[in-house]
Amino acid sequence: MVERFKHDAPVLIIGLGRFGAACAGELDRLDREVLAIDGSAELVQKWSDRITHTVQADARNIEALKQIGAQEFSIAVVAVGSSIESSVLITANLVDLKIPQIWAKAVSQSHGKILTRVGANHVIYPEAEAGERVAHLVSGRMLDFIQFDDDFVLVKMYPPKPIRGINLTESGVRTKYRVTVVGVKSPGKPFTYATADTVVSNHDLIIVSGTSSDIERFAALEG
């Protein structure tokens, strides 16, 4: 049975490099209680004004984690990536402290496999994911690109020429191109859900969903 946690449960962040600091800062902005720890006094001092709770501690030492109350958290993020050994040791410590949900950053597939074997529930590959996303955006046809684990993709883009000026049913978006236009944004207006009768123009932005390969083909249509 999948354990469920309060949407506002406090989060333990270990590591205040770029990834950890960004994660902690955003959670703090969303009014989530965050305890961010790092072995570097300099980094702890740097982020102390922007993150509510920051503590200098060596998370490789399980006793140090116990002293700051790490075992009381239900969610932890291991944002240490530069040292694979430290990352794995910290993750193992959190498992030993019986923290139910552990998210861990990995710098490679092999690193990720070790983290999973040690007991991380979720492994994140920020550099790889960012690289893949940029690869889809550099063509200039897509303005934003989000890919999910099952090859389901959401993309923000300008509508290709073949679907402009006629409603979405007539343009055959789903039958011809096997993608779905989810939403449309006209200049100066908010995004609205698309319907079969929606007509898009070359000034509109659209949100499209589908598989990665179908989305790529759709975006490559002459626009």
Neighbours of 166 (CB within 10 A): 12
The single-letter DSSP state of residue 9 is -
Q: Report the C-alpha gap between 12 and 7 in whole angstroms.
A: 14
The arithmetic mean of pLDDT across residues 12-35, rounded, is 92
206 contacts 156 by C-beta, under 8 angstroms: yes
pLDDT tens digits along 84-99: 999 999 999 999 999 9
State the pLDDT at residue 1.
Answer: 38
What's the pLDDT at 192? 92
pLDDT digits (tens, 9 = 90+) for 103-150: 999 998 999 999 999 999 999 888 877 777 777 777 677 888 888 867
Tokens of 138: 């550099």
Asked if residues 157 and 208 have their Cβ atoms less than 8 Å apart, the reply is yes
For the cut 70, the answer to whether the pLDDT of residue 223 exceeds it is no
Confidence of residue 6 (pLDDT cuts 50, 70, 90): low
DSSP 17-49: SHHHHHHHHHHHHTT--EEEEES-HHHHHHHTT
Q: Are 44 and 38 in contact (CB under 8 A)?
A: yes
Tell me: pLDDT of 50 over 90. Answer: no
pLDDT classification of 213: cutoffs 50, 70, 90: confident
pTM, full prediction = 0.71
- DSSP-derived secondary structure letter, 118: H
User: 151 pLDDT exceeds 90?
Assistant: no
Burial of 30 from C-beta contacts in 10 A (0-12 / 13-18 / 19+): exposed
Which tokens in the block code for residue 159? 């509508």
Amino acid 2: pLDDT: 43
Tell me: pLDDT of 9 over 90: no
List, in order of start, the domains of the chain with CATH numbers. Answer: 11-124 (3.40.50.720), 130-219 (3.30.70.1450)
pLDDT in tens, 153-210: 899 999 999 999 999 999 999 999 999 999 999 999 999 999 999 999 988 999 999 9
Q: What is the mean pLDDT of residues 63-68?
A: 96
Q: What span, in angstroms and rounded, lies between the C-alpha atoms of 82 and 128?
A: 15
- The pLDDT of residue 139 is 66
Summarised one tens digit per residue, pLDDT across range 29-44 is: 888 899 999 999 999 9
**3-state class (DSSP) for residue 83:** coil
